[in-house]
Every structure is written in C-alpha cells, then in structure tokens.
Amino acid sequence: MTTAPSTTTMRAFALEEFGVPGSVREIPVPSPGEGEILIRIRAAGVNPFDMAVIGGYLKDMMEHRFPLVPGADAAGVVEQVGPGVTQWSVGDEVFGQFNKPVAGEGTYADYVVAPARGLIARKPASIDFAQAAALPTAGLTALESANAVAPREGDTVLIVGAAGGVGSYAVQIAAHRGARVIATGRSGREEYLRSLGAAEVVDYTTSDIVETVKSTHPEGIDGLIDVVSRDPATLQRNAEVLRPGGRVASAMGAVNPEALAQRGIEGTNIMAGSATGPRGLEELAAMVTAGELKAPIAHVFSLEETPQALEQLQSGVQGKLVLDCRV
C-alpha cells in the first residue's frame, strides 16, 4: 500500500539563507524515492546540532538546500512508501534520526522523507510521540557513551554537562547500571540532577570540577562522560580525575586516544547511532517502557513557536525541547 498524502503542501519552519531568521511557511510535501518513506511528523526533537545547520557552520561539509528546513529527530506515522521498501508499511508508527546526505530537508515540518533503512525504529505504543522524538540524538549519544565507559556496579562516573539533553540521559543510564554518578551543573540544578540519579553534584560556576572531584575521590574514579568540552586540552584535564585503567567518552570529538593512552586511559569519541544503529533506539524505548529511563522534556512548543524554542535552546536548557507538529 503506497497511499499519497491528502495534501500537496505542508507547514515547515524554514529559512531562505544563512543569517536570516526563519519562519513557518507553506512548502511542497516531499515525495519518497527509491528506498525511502514519507513520514507524517507528530513531534520533532530540537538539538544543538540544528543550530549549527541554521548558522551555516556546516556549509563547507555538505550540500544545503533552500528553503532550509532544520531538524533530524522526530516521531510520526508512515504515510507513503517508495519503490523497493518492504520493511515499513503505511500506518506504522516510527521514530528516529531522519538524516539525509543533504541538509535542509529536515523534521521541523509536517512531513519528512527518510531512508527506509536509516536510523529508524518502530515506536512502541507505550510511549507517546513527544517522548519518542526526544530520544534519538541525545539518547543514543548517552547510551553509546555509557557503553564506552562501561560502568559496573560500584564504579564512580563523572558526567560533565549533565543537565542538558545528552547529560540528562547519561546520568540516568549510568545510575541504572549501578554507578555512583557525579554530575556537573550550574547553580539551581542540583535537585533536578539528583532526581535523575546523581549522587554528587558539582556546581561548575563556583567550583573547579577537577579539584573538587580529586578532593572527594583522591584515589581516582572509573569513568568520565564529557558532553560539552570541545577542546582536547580541556577534556584531557578533566580526565585527570580518572585512575589508571579509567575510561572516557566524548560527545564532542575531543578525545585524543594517544594522549590518554599514555596515562593508561581508554578514550572514545561518540557519534550518535554509529555504534548501535536502530537497535539502540529500540533499547532506549524499552528502557522508557520499563520505567528505567524518562525523557527529560523541559518544554513542548508548537511548530509555530519554533523561534522561541531555538531561542531557549541557545540560552541553555535543562533537558530536552520538543516541537508538536500536529495540526
């Protein structure tokens, strides 16, 4: 069954050129090609990566198409399948990271076309569309970071950048695996971080993270998940809290494996979905269903409120932001 959508145009948040504020307008509904599916979006996740696309920071790395629609994470319903697609059917509820080789055909819209064999999983009935849309990029980054650090019962893990989307998931996953979690966050976020499972909280605005952790754990700790440090030197210093044999995961590509190895530390750079694929999405959804993980949604905006969502993202947000794309 390959039914076509009932409309030829859709709402989308788009911009005409870099540096010009975007707006919600009507654009044509895309059509799925060979090996692709058309998804009616119910909710879209908002991520810092989207700001990089909007700002044109990736324009020399990949093709951008205008009007440029940002966004990769979403949850929705398969509305049409292209030629050669056998694993999905019209009416399937799905969620995932709907990336394409070009930027600008994203999920801040009513519809999106995605590769049928991409980073997509079936949405369980037990979680709603907003929860599912909040999972892909942040959840997979956290899951794969936790897998790389591999905390065992009784290990101690420091999570730098713990109150954001990735960090909020990472705190929960590490704590669920039995680790004692030290979370960093600015003033006012201690209660939130402890509610996620953090045993200790370091206010990075008033305390030096490394010196604080060293003072309370002079023998060194077992793992470090750093989701904010872009500079390898900064990550290298944060790794001073680790004992020999400790493990580091960076969500920002800041790991220098050779430099860390000189201290007997194993380091991994994480790219969401590269290690687990759709299986990781299924694992995250199962954890939410089992009550082991909660989607830390700070606010749900309407599609028309996308500018406000992006403004809040830039000013710093506790947890995840989601766009409600239902009409």
Q: Tens digit of pLDDT for each residue in 225-259?
A: 999 999 999 999 999 999 999 999 999 999 999 99
Residue closest to 246 by CA, chosen among 228, 225, 275, 215 = 225
Q: Tens digit of pLDDT for each residue in 43-87?
A: 999 999 999 999 999 999 999 999 999 999 999 999 999 999 999
Give percent helix, percent strand, percent coil of the chain, each to the nearest 5.
30, 30, 40
261: pLDDT strictly greater than 60: yes
The β-bridge partners of 95 are: 75, 121
Structural domains in the chain? Answer: 9-135+295-324 (3.90.180.10), 138-269 (3.40.50.720)
Confidence band for 3, pLDDT divided at 50, 70 and 90: low
Q: Tens digit of pLDDT for each residue in 166-225?
A: 999 999 999 999 999 999 999 999 999 999 999 999 999 999 999 999 999 999 999 999
One DSSP character per residue, 238-266 reads HGGGEEEEEEEEESSS---HHHHHTTT-E
| Ramachandran bin of 84, using left for φ above 0, alpha for ψ from -120 to 50, beta for the remaining angles | left
Mean per-residue pLDDT over the chain, rounded: 96
The Cα–Cα gap between 123 and 106 comes to 19
Confidence band for 277, pLDDT divided at 50, 70 and 90: very high
193 burial level (CB within 10 Å; 0-12, 13-18, 19+): buried
Confidence band for 2, pLDDT divided at 50, 70 and 90: low
The Cα–Cα gap between 248 and 265 comes to 7
The bridge status of strand 9-14 relative to strand 23-28 is antiparallel
Confidence band for 155, pLDDT divided at 50, 70 and 90: very high
Q: Between 2 and 173, whose confidence is greater?
A: 173
The Cα–Cα gap between 138 and 45 comes to 9
